Amino acid sequence: MEITNEHIHGATILTLAGHFDVYATPTVEHLFQNIEAGSIPYFIINLSNVSFIDSTGLATLMIGEKRCRQQDGCLILFGIQKTVNVIFEVTHLNKILTIVNTREEAIERVQRLQES
């Protein structure tokens, strides 16, 4: 799995590509675990190139969401492919995680949170 990250408007945008499964999650989980205490983390995850996610991948996103929420930040997902969206829907995790359609929407959400 390929992972790239960039920093825009105080948010970290992670772009994942390939299968987000048990073999790929440690790197992403490591990023969430290294969120500095006292900082307000804003993570935007680009899933547009992720073709498969398993329960370990879902759990990793939940870890990130919880970690960000605990420090008054947020984790937003965007660009979810149809086949991957089915997995979010059947597990009902789409009701817990923040999911938007585009990168622009995700950045806008973060900016609104930063201003509030």
Partner 1 sequence: MYVKRANDNFIRWFNANRNELTGLAQAWLEMGNRAVGIWGQQLLACWPASTWDELSKLQEPDMTLCASIKVEDIVVGRIGVLGVLQNLTRKARLDAETSLISQLLTMQTRFESAATELIAQAQLRVEIDMAANIQVQLLPRKFPQIEGLDIYGLSCPAMQVGGDFYDFSSFKNRPFVFAVGDVSGKGLSAALFMAMTRTILHTAARFMPTIDPSSILVRVNEDLYDDFSEVGMFATAFVGCYDIPSKQLTYTNAGHSPVIYCPVNGPTVFLGADSPPLGSLYTIPCKNHTLSLHANDVLIIGTDGLNESFNDAGEMFGYERLLQAVKDFSHLSSSEIVIELFNTITQFTGGYTQSDDQTLIVIKGVEKSCG
Residues forming the site for partner 1 (CB under 8 A)? 21-23, 29, 52, 54-56, 58-60, 62-63, 66, 86-87, 89-93, 95-96
What is the nearest approach in angstroms of partner 1 to the Cβ of residue 63? 3
Nearer to partner 1, 62 or 108 (CB): 62
What is the nearest approach in angstroms of partner 1 to the Cβ of residue 114? 25
Strands of the chain, DSSP E = 2-8, 11-20, 42-53, 74-78, 98-100
Nearer to partner 1, 37 or 115 (CB): 37
What is the nearest approach in angstroms of partner 1 to the Cβ of residue 68? 12
